[in-house]
Structure 1
Amino acid sequence: MFNSILFVCIGNICRSPTAEYLMLHKLKGRNVKVSSAGLGALVGKPIDATAGQLLAEHGVDATVHAARQLRSDHLTQADLILTMDQGMVHNISSMTPQVSGKTFLLGKWHNDATVADPYRKSREAFEHVYKALDKYTDDWLKYL
């Protein structure tokens, strides 16, 4: 049973907060802590406007999000760590080796699919990422 899920990307303003708020929405009423952080976070910044707008269009409110820098204690406290690409898995394993057994790609159930960074790209890029994050978070629900 996973009681604490941590999503990780780079800046913590696009992919990981989108995944965080999608999962929070999907787990509403369940006692699971969901959070996100960035390997190179834009600390204190809100979710990217386009990412936030897409969430809002699907009934998910992420207006309270503030980017935070990933720390070792975030990793050790999480039961499950989900990242956007294999490089992040390696960075996390280097940073805190003892968490390597609970760190996976968010797209694990889709042949270890990665999620491209939409930062400073078109709305269409954000829509593509949103759809992937929605599908990949759904895939994890049966394991939570």
Structure 2
Amino acid sequence: MAEKDVADRAGGSMFQQVLIICVGNVCRSPIAEFLLRERLRDRGIQVDSAGLGAMVGYPPEGHAAALLKEHGIDASSHRARQLELSMLREADLVLAMERRHVHAATRLAPEASGKVFLLRKWLDARDVPDPHLQSRPFFERVYEQIDRGVGSWLRYL
């Protein structure tokens, strides 16, 4: 979808509800959720996250929580949630970490296909690799990719 199409999808107004998805909802999507919330805190946009195979009830992975905390963001309230059809239907915009997540979401809710995009769509349209069970330096690289991806969406929100 072209830049103009995303702006048209917004109908000239802001998106009100953004959903961010990954697999476990303990690493990538919580990082993106809390970074986007922080950047949009005065705009009244609701930002949530969920996982395609969520580790339901788990807090953010240790490196994810530590990196957010080091950047002044407390994500201790987060608990992983399983992606549900209703979440996709209610969201105005769904940001996914990988192409396979986009496909899985649109299989679950075909009517949502026009609002599900890669987080890095406006950058290089590449997947954000899964850092689960990886080293701290790997998490740091993934954090930077997510941060840049989040930043690239701000002009549309």
Q: Is TM-score (shorter-chain normalized) higher than 0.5?
A: yes
Helix, strand or coil: the match of 1:142?
helix
**Alignment TM-score, normalising by the size of structure 1:** 0.99
Offset at residue 111 of structure 1 (A): 2.6
Alignment of 1:1-144 (within 5 A): 1-144=14-157
Q: Letter of the aligned partner of 2:139 in structure 1?
A: F
Q: Percent same amino acid at aligned positions?
A: 48
Q: Letter of the aligned partner of 2:103 in structure 1?
A: H
Q: For residue 9 of structure 2, what is the aligned residue in structure 1? A: none
Superposed CA RMSD: 0.6
Q: Distance in 2 between matches of 1:25 and 1:61?
A: 10
Q: Letter of the aligned partner of 1:124 in structure 2?
A: P
Q: 1:52-77, CA deviations, whole angstroms, 9 ceiling, x for partnerless residues?
A: 00000000110000000000000000
Q: Letter of the aligned partner of 2:144 in structure 1?
A: K
Offset at residue 110 of structure 1 (A): 1.4
Q: Distance in 1 between matches of 2:142 and 2:39?
A: 17
Helix, strand or coil: the match of 2:18?
strand
Q: Distance in 2 between matches of 1:106 and 1:29?
A: 21
Q: Letter of the aligned partner of 1:101 in structure 2?
A: G
Which protein shows a greater Rg?
2
Q: 1:20-51, CA deviations, whole angstroms, 9 ceiling, x for partnerless residues?
A: 00001111121000000000000000000110
- Consecutive unaligned residues of structure 2, counting only runs of 5 or more, are 1-13
Q: In the comparison of the two structures, how many residue pairs are matched?
A: 144
